[in-house]
Amino acid sequence: MLTDLKQSVFEANLALHKSGLVLLTWGNVSGLDRESGLVAIKPSGVSYAEMRPEQMVIVDLQGTVVEGELRPSSDTPTHLELYRSFPSLGGIAHTHSTYATAWAQARRPLPCFGTTHADNFRGEVPVTAELTPEALAGDYELETGKAIVQAFAERDPLQVPGVLVACHGPFTWGPTPAAAVENSLVLEYVAQMAAVAESLSPGLSCISCGLQDKHFLRKHGKDAYYGQK
Ligand SMILES: [Zn+2]
């Protein structure tokens, strides 16, 4: 079932590992097949060296395992909440990459200090609220997803394809599992540059809205002109 989706999710998980953003098994990627409403996701705790495409677990959007011998990633309820709430997503990735996680641990949104950020994220990358004791006592991974959705109440998830979960780390997404992984790489890169820039110039302010929009819109949207037609 969904052989192509399982293959693309498998390849995206390997790409995430090869990128160096993931230590041990601390990362996961999923992909959604919009037509069937089914999600393929990495199995929980399986090493990347031993992972095979057929081990990707297929779940429906309510979290019922439809196909697979192994347990899905423990973060599956977070991924599913994002797919249910953001209909444009086709892939989601999660890491504990160093700099993005450092901003998440500082519980600070990632400010737009330069055009590399603006090329990829329109405005700051938000940080979620911390989970309440009630949320922690409930379905933790689902509540994490809800906190992310709340952070996007006034944002377009395709214009800001990532988030910092307070005290935890980044989730990124895109139209495909591969795009979600690419955004994990970009987020880590801009998080590192922002940390260095701020250490060089404490109190540094964001670049102007005009410059942010110029860079985001020349790469994205209907009038984009970056790259080849
Ligand atoms: Zn995590």
Please give the distance, rounded to the nearest whole angstrom, from the Cα atom of residue 56 to the centre of ligand 1: 18
Answer whether 108's CB lies under 8 Å from 127's CB: yes
pLDDT tens, residue by residue, 93-102: 999 999 999 9
- Side-chain-side CA neighbours of residue 65 (13 Å): 14
Answer whether 127's CB lies under 8 Å from 151's CB: yes
Q: Is the pLDDT of residue 79 over 90?
A: yes
Residue, of 224 and 193, whose pLDDT is higher: 193
Q: Is the pLDDT of residue 229 over 80?
A: no
Q: Indicate which residues carry an active-site annotation.
A: 119, 226
- pTM given for the model: 0.94
CA distance linking residue 93 with residue 152, whole number of Å: 17
Please give the distance, rounded to the nearest whole angstrom, from the Cα atom of residue 114 to the centre of ligand 1: 27
Please give the distance, rounded to the nearest whole angstrom, from the Cα atom of residue 71 to the centre of ligand 1: 16
pLDDT of residue 116: 95
Please give the distance, rounded to the nearest whole angstrom, from the Cα atom of residue 224 to the centre of ligand 1: 34
